[in-house]
Amino acid sequence: MAIDVFIGGLGCITALGKGTNAQLERLASGRSGLGELTLFETSHQATVGEVPLKNEELADLLNLPRVKEYSRTTLLGLAAAAEALEDSGIERDGLRIGFISATSVGGMDVSELFYREYHKDKNRGKLRQLIGHDCGASTQFMCERLGIKDFATTINTACSSANNAIMLGTRMIKAGMLDVVIAGGTDSLCRFTVNGFSSLGILDRELCRPFDKSRSGLNLGEGAGYLLLCSDKVKTARRYGKVTGYANANDAFHQTASSSTGDGAYLAMKGALEQSGSEPGDIGYINVHGTGTQNNDASEGVAMKRLFGENVPPFSSTKGYTGHTLGAAGGVESVFAVLSLFHGYIWPNLNFTAKIEEADVTPETRCIKRDNLKAVMTNSFGFGGNCTSLVFESAKN
């Protein structure tokens, strides 16, 4: 007997604020969280999406002792994952619960502090700042705090990481291996990513302009987003929707670029749509990857035209609100997509003025209230052409 996978809880923290209510209010009002980088000094001029809380404030909100130094990735992830668990209202007794977390930065923000001292003098530097460097360290710590013991793993496939975490969690529930999975991703801003993306020449010093003719790069962001997934036998406070479609594809075109024909994006969207059993016309909104780079937006636009023809659903990139949160992007934007489905909103694509030349597609620029959205799609595409799309459907259908 087929097992339906429902979304029973949401948790999110981004430059828009802490908690899903903060995300909902800012998305609906069209108020971006992008601004000047203040977390650390860098020689690069960067507009970013910073979470408006310092590490000490996050630790206090999470009731963590000050005696330990926590990576910002861990703090952001725990804030969002704990919210998703609490939001669900599940009774945990007898349930097999897993945690699948995605990250690309891991504890780099703290290990960078160690390196600055160690580089000056090989006898200096606090070794405890290296303990959380590995991507799996944040997952392990969050599991301990959340009391999850049945299953845990960490996924790093660049910017598709969190979508792949949600896909794996869904598959494990469908296979009868787990009853509940908290799945998503977390990443923090750090010098490595600012320097790295600057070296690629794809950082926009101004506000990013996804799918706009004048786009010139992305704004980096930080945050975390998690979905609490559960089988249909698990009782939750509410059901936000169902995960009905998912697919991963790899166009293997280039280390950091997508093909001009959008092969990976097309195959991921096509596979997710087919698995969901939905018709193309059932998709009422697509939260696109939409980074604001020349390459990504052109490739994704071409892929949407290949799949949907002249009937591309309403779509937008929400990176104009949060910046590109890298390994957390799929988690954050899955939360946004589920909020769209549950509350009936189509989020606006900020900073858009003119459509791109490579694909004849125009994003939605207004916040639209639409009753009875049946299904939404969200895309996250990573370096190396690792592309993942998810389809969420209303639990009311």
Residue 119's pLDDT is 58
Q: Which of 135, 143, 230, 324 is catalytic?
A: 324
Task: Compute the distance between CA of residue 319 and CA of residue 290 in angstroms, rounded to an integer.
Answer: 7
User: For the chain, what are the domain ranges?
Assistant: 5-393
- Cα dihedral 302/307/313/317 (nearest 10): -40
Residue 147 pLDDT class (50, 70, 90 cuts): very high
Q: Has residue 123 got a pLDDT over 70?
A: no
At 198-214, the pLDDT tens digits run: 888 899 999 999 999 99
Active site residue 367: no
Average pLDDT of the segment spanning 277-293: 96
Taking the model in full, what pTM does it have?
0.95
Amino acid at 2: A
Residue 283 pLDDT class (50, 70, 90 cuts): very high
The dihedral of CA 327, 330, 333, 334: what is its sign? negative
Residue 126's pLDDT is 64
Active site residue 133: no
State how beta strands 17-18 and 5-14 pair: antiparallel
Average pLDDT of the segment spanning 12-33: 98
**At the top level of CATH, which class does the domain 5-393 belong to?**
alpha beta
Residue 341: strand, helix, or coil:
helix
The dihedral of CA 202, 327, 312, 10: what is its sign? negative
Residue 121 pLDDT class (50, 70, 90 cuts): low
Active site residue 324: yes
Percent of the chain whose predicted confidence (pLDDT) is above 70: 93
Residue 361: strand, helix, or coil:
coil
188: phi then psi, degrees, rounded to nearest 5: -115, 160
Q: Which of 12, 143, 159, 387 is catalytic?
A: 159
Residue 212's pLDDT is 97
Residue 114's pLDDT is 61
* CA 294 to each of CA 155, 214, 257, 258, 357: distance values in angstroms, whole numbers, following the listed order: 27, 9, 10, 10, 11
At 36-79, the pLDDT tens digits run: 999 988 878 889 999 999 999 999 999 999 878 899 999 999 99
Q: Which of 190, 230, 289, 387 is catalytic?
A: 289
Least confident residue range of 119-133, 162-176, 337-351: 119-133
Residue 333 pLDDT class (50, 70, 90 cuts): very high
Average pLDDT of the segment spanning 215-225: 97
